[in-house]
């Protein structure tokens, strides 16, 4: 590494929220990843080690897999030991304030590794770096961070790293453009049997509380042929399950040009026809939902009977203020249709408590709706104002302790239903794809059944990587103990 410490930072582009909001009507660019390696990087990287810590959703998990693919081309190996790494990257999530706070706390802890090894390259990427204020904080308070890039810059990692090595100064490249579709990025997948497949990027829904449309750009759907190619490659490589990933899978294809137009249900059917053993998808949005999706789910046994359908609130006026574009009646209609087509479906949801306009009456409507629908599980969140979003400017905020009180009531309501439903699950026979030794007990093997429930069974050779019939013996609310049935 060069000893020139006086170099100014190399700023290619910094985050810009005004640009990030822009939605273009022009056609998308589909481009192939450029995998050429700059010479200085080739020499530097050989046999070096990288560590990536990933926060956030499946989108980020998949981005980390791409980054690992790039490091793999450089002949670098992965480590989980911070003191042993030559590059440490944090791939960050901005969805709620606590995710950001956690990032800065953990980033502070990296200083000691940098003090011991001044050649260590510390980088921060992902959604938080798309935001102006957290980026400014990082710029001023964390001088040891040498590399900053955003969600649109992953395919530039070779050039960015090459610049850091050459200049020994900070390099920043955070585009705020609408984004394009980059195909053929290298990848190292986290799992051997289950894989995430992106079907689209970005989000155009602009729910009033949400930062994602700012950090991930315009909705961009991949072409059907590229998605099917990826699924077929996964089948060839022994994968048994794919999860189709997008912020709003039901809106898949709406942005494609006429000649490539495909709807989500058409995509789902085509993926089912590849004969991959299991298909899941996430996340669904009640808007843009089409009954045909349920018909396809019912028709193909390899599409798992599970749906994650975020509700957010059980009050029409809150849903309106959230800009969710559906009302409670519409949500209930969808659930009825879902249960008509797939009676044993596992239905999960997301709910936000303490949205600025939420009154006690609104909140009680959410509780009543949860009791009526009886979700199998729900992820509950306290509203977190995200700078730049419409909801962050709303002033009618409920006091913190009242929000905490509501949060606990909601959690209790949900947990009680989840527990009751768990007991109803005992003695059922399910099919489990076993994929790992249990994290809590090495004498147990774990996997997920068709309803996406976590099942543990006693250790047995040759179980991992297979799908087996299992009888449920005990319910532990969020997981189950089962027994493999001999076939």
Contact positions toward ligand SF4, by CB under 6 A?
A: 203, 205-207, 210, 212-213, 247-248, 285
Instruction: Tell me the three state secondary structure of residue 463.
Output: coil
Q: Tokens for 445, please give them.
A: 């093997």
Judge whether 175 and 151 are in contact, CB under 8 Å: no
Q: Considering beta carbons, is residue 103 or 297 the nearer one to ligand F3S?
A: 103
Nearest distance from residue 251's CB to ligand SF4, in Å?
9
Site string for ligand F3S, 75-104 (x = CB under 6 A): ------------------xxx---------
The torsion angle over the Cα atoms of residues 248, 249, 251 and 256, rounded to 10 degrees, is 120
Asked if 93 is part of the footprint of ligand SAH (rule: CB under 6 A), the reply reads no
Residue 206 binding result from ligand F3S, ligand SAH, ligand SF4, none, given CB thresholds of 5 to 8 Å by partner type: ligand SF4
H or E element at residue 449: strand 444-449
Q: What is the CA radius of gyration of the chain?
A: 23
Nearest distance from residue 214's CB to ligand F3S, in Å?
9
Site residues for ligand SAH, 174-213, by CB under 6 A, read 209-210, 212
Asked if 433 is part of the footprint of ligand F3S (rule: CB under 6 A), the reply reads no
Judge whether 417 and 369 are in contact, CB under 8 Å: no
- Which residues, at least 6 apart from 363, have a Cβ–Cβ distance to it below 8 Å? 315, 353, 406, 409, 410
Residue 352 binding result from ligand F3S, ligand SAH, ligand SF4, none, given CB thresholds of 5 to 8 Å by partner type: ligand SAH
Residue 190 burial (CB count, 10 A): 14
Asked if 384 is part of the footprint of ligand SAH (rule: CB under 6 A), the reply reads yes
Q: Considering beta carbons, is residue 159 or 312 the nearer one to ligand SAH?
A: 312
Residue 93 binding result from ligand SF4, ligand SAH, ligand F3S, none, given CB thresholds of 5 to 8 Å by partner type: ligand F3S
Instruction: Tell me the three state secondary structure of residue 122.
Output: strand
> Applying CB under 6 A, which of residues 239, 289, 383, 434 lies at the interface with ligand SAH?
383
Residue 386 binding result from ligand SAH, ligand F3S, ligand SF4, none, given CB thresholds of 5 to 8 Å by partner type: ligand SAH
Q: Considering beta carbons, is residue 214 or 425 the nearer one to ligand SAH?
A: 214
Strands 181-183 and 278-282: unpaired
> Applying CB under 6 A, which of residues 37, 52, 57, 165 lies at the interface with ligand F3S?
57
H or E element at residue 470: strand 467-475
Asked if 52 is part of the footprint of ligand F3S (rule: CB under 6 A), the reply reads no
Asked if 96 is part of the footprint of ligand SAH (rule: CB under 6 A), the reply reads yes
Q: Considering beta carbons, is residue 161 or 322 the nearer one to ligand SF4?
A: 322
Asked if 124 is part of the footprint of ligand F3S (rule: CB under 6 A), the reply reads no
Helices (H), 76-223: 97-116, 132-141, 157-167, 212-216
> Applying CB under 6 A, which of residues 127, 165, 334, 391 lies at the interface with ligand F3S?
127
Nearest distance from residue 416's CB to ligand SF4, in Å?
26
Strands 346-353 and 377-382: parallel
- Residue burial 387-406, b: 16+ Cβ < 10 Å; e: rest: ebbbbeebeeebeeeebebb
Q: Label residue 434 left, alpha or beta by phi (over 0 means left) and psi (-120 to 50 means alpha).
A: beta
Asked if 247 is part of the footprint of ligand SAH (rule: CB under 6 A), the reply reads yes
Asked if 285 is part of the footprint of ligand SAH (rule: CB under 6 A), the reply reads yes
Residue 445 exposure: Cα atoms within 13 Å on the Cβ side: 20
DSSP letters of 243-288?
EEE-TTGGGTTTTS-GGG---HHHHHHHHHHTT-SEEEEE---STT
Residue 286 binding result from ligand SF4, ligand SAH, ligand F3S, none, given CB thresholds of 5 to 8 Å by partner type: none
Residue 213 binding result from ligand F3S, ligand SF4, ligand SAH, none, given CB thresholds of 5 to 8 Å by partner type: ligand SF4
> Applying CB under 6 A, which of residues 154, 352, 373, 470 lies at the interface with ligand SAH?
352
The torsion angle over the Cα atoms of residues 461, 464, 466 and 468, rounded to 10 degrees, is 70
Nearest distance from residue 56's CB to ligand SAH, in Å?
9
Residue 461 burial (CB count, 10 A): 6
The footprint of ligand SAH on this chain (CB under 6 A) covers a number of residues equal to 17
Nearest distance from residue 312's CB to ligand SF4, in Å?
8
* Segment lying near ligand F3S (by CB under 6 A), choices 209-217, 222-230, 350-358, 474-482: 209-217
Asked if 245 is part of the footprint of ligand F3S (rule: CB under 6 A), the reply reads no
- Which residues, at least 6 apart from 4, have a Cβ–Cβ distance to it below 8 Å? 167, 168, 169
H or E element at residue 115: helix 97-116
Cα angle 416-418-424, degrees, rounded to a multiple of 5: 105
List beta partners, residue 414.
none
Asked if 310 is part of the footprint of ligand SAH (rule: CB under 6 A), the reply reads yes
Q: What is the C-alpha separation between 396 and 325, in angstroms, rounded?
A: 21
Nearest distance from residue 290's CB to ligand SF4, in Å?
16
Residue 14 binding result from ligand SF4, ligand SAH, ligand F3S, none, given CB thresholds of 5 to 8 Å by partner type: none
Residues that bind ligand F3S (CB under 6 A): 56-57, 59-60, 93-95, 127, 211-212, 215-216
Residues that bind ligand SAH (CB under 6 A): 95-96, 209-210, 212, 247-248, 283, 285, 310, 312, 350, 352, 381, 383-384, 386
């Amino acid at each position: 590494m060069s000893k020139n410490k006086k170099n100014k930072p190399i700023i290619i582009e910094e985050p810009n929220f005004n640009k990030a909001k822009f939605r273009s009507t022009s056609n998308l660019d589909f481009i192939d990843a450029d995998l050429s390696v700059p010479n200085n990087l080739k020499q530097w990287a050989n046999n070096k080690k990288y560590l990536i810590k990933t926060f956030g959703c499946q989108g980020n998990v998949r981005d980390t897999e791409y980054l690992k693919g790039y490091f793999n081309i450089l002949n670098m190996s992965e480590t989980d030991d911070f003191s042993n790494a030559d590059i440490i990257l944090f791939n960050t999530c901005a969805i709620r304030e606590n995710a950001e706070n956690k990032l800065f706390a953990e980033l502070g802890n990296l200083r000691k590794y940098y003090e011991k090894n001044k050649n260590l390259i510390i980088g921060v990427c992902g959604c938080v770096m798309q935001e102006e204020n957290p980026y400014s904080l990082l710029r001023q308070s964390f001088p040891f961070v040498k590399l900053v890039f955003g969600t649109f810059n992953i395919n530039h990692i070779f050039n960015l790293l090459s610049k850091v090595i050459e200049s020994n100064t900070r390099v920043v490249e955070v585009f705020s453009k609408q984004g394009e579709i980059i195909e053929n990025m290298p990848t190292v997948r986290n799992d051997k049997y289950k894989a995430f497949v992106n079907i689209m990027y970005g989000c155009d829904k602009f729910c009033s509380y949400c930062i994602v449309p700012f950090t991930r750009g315009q909705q961009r759907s991949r072409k059907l042929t590229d998605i099917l190619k990826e699924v077929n490659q996964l089948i060839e490589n022994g994968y048994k399950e794919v999860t189709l990933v997008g912020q709003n899978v039901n809106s898949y294809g709406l942005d494609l040009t006429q000649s490539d137009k495909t709807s989500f249900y058409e995509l789902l059917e085509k993926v089912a026809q590849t004969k991959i053993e299991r298909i899941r998808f996430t996340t669904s949005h009640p808007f843009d939902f089409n009954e045909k999706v349920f018909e396809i789910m019912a028709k193909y046994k390899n599409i798992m009977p599970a749906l994650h359908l975020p509700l957010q609130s059980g009050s029409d006026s809150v849903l309106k203020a959230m800009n969710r574009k559906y009302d409670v009646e519409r949500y209930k209609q969808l659930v009825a249709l879902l249960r008509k087509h797939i009676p044993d479906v596992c239905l999960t949801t997301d709910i936000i408590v303490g949205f600025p306009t939420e009154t006690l009456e609104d909140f009680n409507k959410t509780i009543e709706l949860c009791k009526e629908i009886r979700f199998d599980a729900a992820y509950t969140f306290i509203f977190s104002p995200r700078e730049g979003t419409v909801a962050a400017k709303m002033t009618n905020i409920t006091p913190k302790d009242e929000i905490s009180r509501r949060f606990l009531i909601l959690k209790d309501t949900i947990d009680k239903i989840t527990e009751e439903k768990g007991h109803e699950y005992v003695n059922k026979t399910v099919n489990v794809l076993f994929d790992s030794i249990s994290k809590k007990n090495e004498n147990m093997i774990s996997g997920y059944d068709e309803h996406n429930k976590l099942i543990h069974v006693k250790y047995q050779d040759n179980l991992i990587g297979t799908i087996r019939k299992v009888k449920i013996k005990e319910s532990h609310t969020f997981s189950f103990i089962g027994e493999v049935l001999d076939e």
